[in-house]
Chains A and B, each alone.
Chain A
Amino acid sequence: MEPFKNLKSKVVPLDIANIDTDQIIPKQFLKLLGKTGYGEYLFFNWRYDKEGIPTKDFALNVPEYQGRQILLTRENFGIGSSREHAVWALKDYGFKVVLGVSFADIFYNNCFKNGVLVIKMDKEIIEDFFSTKTNYVFDIDLSQQQITINSQIYRFEIDPTLKSSLENGTDEISRTLQLEDYIKDYEKQDINRILTVKPNTLL
């Protein structure tokens, strides 16, 4: 995974709350077998009309928003289905950061596993971003945990583990496999009796 350190970009404002993953990537695009190629289907049902023509006023189709790498959203982003395709689509489209008030748990985790930084900020700040900051460059510094906009600094909180995995681009599985002795010990102990059930011998 590519490490994430900082990013300078303007935002794409998507002024809708409670966006579910069915909207981020509709199910007809879940049949691909890889992790790339989903960007063109991001927000498909909102982005194109029935004839497949881009809808004029949808944020992703606004000419001056093209190439921006931060998605600005509101409350409860990423609810619904656990499909990681939602994150692959955001990433493939070019978003490196999603900024909003709150996020669904599974979506939040999925983002960090794919190197996408999710930043939660207070409602008033997000409100202010929507109303006055959509044409400013956001200078995001992960190590300092801050966003600088026009020399004003906004701090954000982030879990230290998630932060370091983003900064180093570490593969979580390798990290876990270094703890394999603990896993083996656990498997040998008697603490979890479910492990004595061997359903597979019956199959």
Chain B
Amino acid sequence: MLYLPQTLYDKIWDNHVVYSDESSNLSLLYIDRHYVHEVTSPQAFDGLRINNRRVRKPDLTFATVDHNVPTTDRSLPIIDQTSSLQIKTLENNCKEFGIPLFDIHNKYQGIVHVIGPELGLTLPGSTIVCGDSHTSTHGAFGSLAFGIGTSEVEHVLATQCLWMKKSKNFEIVLNGGLNNKNGISSKDVILNIIRKIGTSGGSGSVIEYKGDYVSSLSMEKRMTICNMSIEGGARAGLVGPDDTTFEYLREKIYAPKGELFEQLISDWKNLRSDNGAKYDRTFSIDIDHLAPQVTWGTNPAMTIDVDSVIPSPDDFSKGNDEERKSAVKALEYMDLKPGVPITDISIDRVFIGSCTNARLEDLIEASQVVKGKKVSSHVKAMVVPGSQQVKMTAEKLGLDKIFTEAGFEWREPGCSMCLGMNPDILQAGERCASTSNRNFEGRQGAGGRTHLVSPLMAAAAAIAGKFVDVREWV
């Protein structure tokens, strides 16, 4: 039989089709891992109860609390009553339906997209869903991982499956960059990709990241890239698993061990796009000449190089009227003027955290910039580790001391100021250098102004009190 070359996405897809409905082009896909958190699940559990349904596979379902947990002392009661109720509701639901929960006092608690990988729950070739759009993070392992809405959460709880239409294959080749690592991180790479393809550039597609640059990256750096695939409009991001992936997973607490692990590795080695596999779209970018990126507007495609100036709406929109209007609105919201160098913009807050950039390597890099220096007197800066494990390891390395001595706050793990559902929010008019993934109006607090940057850039901005080109610092 003639074998048609397949992409990684095609392979994972084929492996998970339970049933295909020819008439609608929809397939019922089996889901290997379902991650659940407190904000998008209560209505789904309610739906189960109303219809007298059970959770089909509680052993493939894992829950944690992250979105609205306070990042302050965990021994104190939660002041916000609605947050506290949502957390309690998840605890009760997990008990009722037999789902394991990494609760607020658990040593493995953390942001769902940080703990899945670090516990070894996220595995190559698997399908993973979660009621959170940044589920795309897990694609770094060569797993097909995507965010779903609450109705779909309920559907997966009840059936362990999801109806899906196959997306397009979008290949992004990342070239060079092997000698351009000083001050440049994978966050700059993904911001630059989004800037180039736009917030809907990946719409209807699954992006596979390829090229020597990706292969050279650690798992944590690959996760940052896959994490923000959603900001480029893609349903998911993928990186083919390789030795870096397998070694990362070895000995992770819930990862398979021994014989089974070796067998799986030999399976996983086939999880590569075949030579000659067809992509609907290909795009390549050159990392050799990439500068650190800073967003200036209110969506992640509104990004510039750190050594350039705020664009005028005309320059930005290149003749597209809608884009022009968006840019005018964004400049007004951000209180910025075209032509001003971004390094002239001073900031009030720094947030190092979120599922994009709150893993150990992110904190190590940021700490190297901060070490022995002081946070600018007009800046309030905080570090929120992505998980208890990250926090603990960082503390063993003494990073907490480096940060606190410089004047940063060192917090408990959670989503925190990434979306500001807990008390960590920006005040109206405050300007923040943030390592998170969204700079939408009010995302970090009504009237707050967010500039997305890498951990290195955020750390340097905290010290300087304004944006600086971190390449001059490292």
Contact = CB atoms under 8 A, between A and B. Distances in A.
Interface in A164-183: 171-173, 176-177, 179-180, 182-183
Nearest to B164: A109
Contacts of A74: 322
Interface stretch (A55-63, A76-84, A131-139, A145-153): A76-84
Nearest to A26: B442
A30 interface: yes
Contacts of B43: 33-35, 84
Given A22-B443, A183-B161, A33 B42 contact: yes
**What are the 3 closest A-B residue pairs judged by CB atoms, nearest first?**
A161-B24, A113-B151, A31-B82
A173 B200 contact: no
Contacts of B16: 192
Interface stretch (B124-132, B176-184, B360-368, B372-380): B124-132
A31 to B, nearest CB: 4
Q: How many of chain A's residues touch chain B, expressed as a range?
A: 35 or more
Interface string B62-102: 00000010000000000000110110010000000000100
A35 B46 CA distance: 10
B420 interface: yes
Contacts of A18: 199, 299, 322, 326
Interface of B: 15-16, 18-19, 21, 23-26, 28, 30, 32, 39-40, 42-43, 46-47, 51, 53, 56, 58-60, 68, 82-83, 85-86, 89, 100, 119-121, 123, 125-126, 131-133, 147-152, 154-155, 158-161, 163, 165, 199-200, 203-204, 233, 235, 253-256, 260, 263-264, 267, 299, 322-323, 325-326, 329, 419-421, 428, 438, 440-443, 446-447
A27 B163 contact: no
B421 A31 contact: yes
B59 A198 contact: yes
Nearest to A46: B441
B441 A105 contact: no
A199 B254 contact: yes
15 contacts: A16-B325, A23-B442, A31-B82, A32-B82, A84-B40, A104-B200, A106-B148, A160-B24, A172-B163, A173-B51, A176-B161, A183-B28, A194-B123, A197-B260, A201-B59
A114 B149 CA distance: 11
B151 A17 contact: no
B396 to A, nearest CB: 24
B263 A193 contact: yes
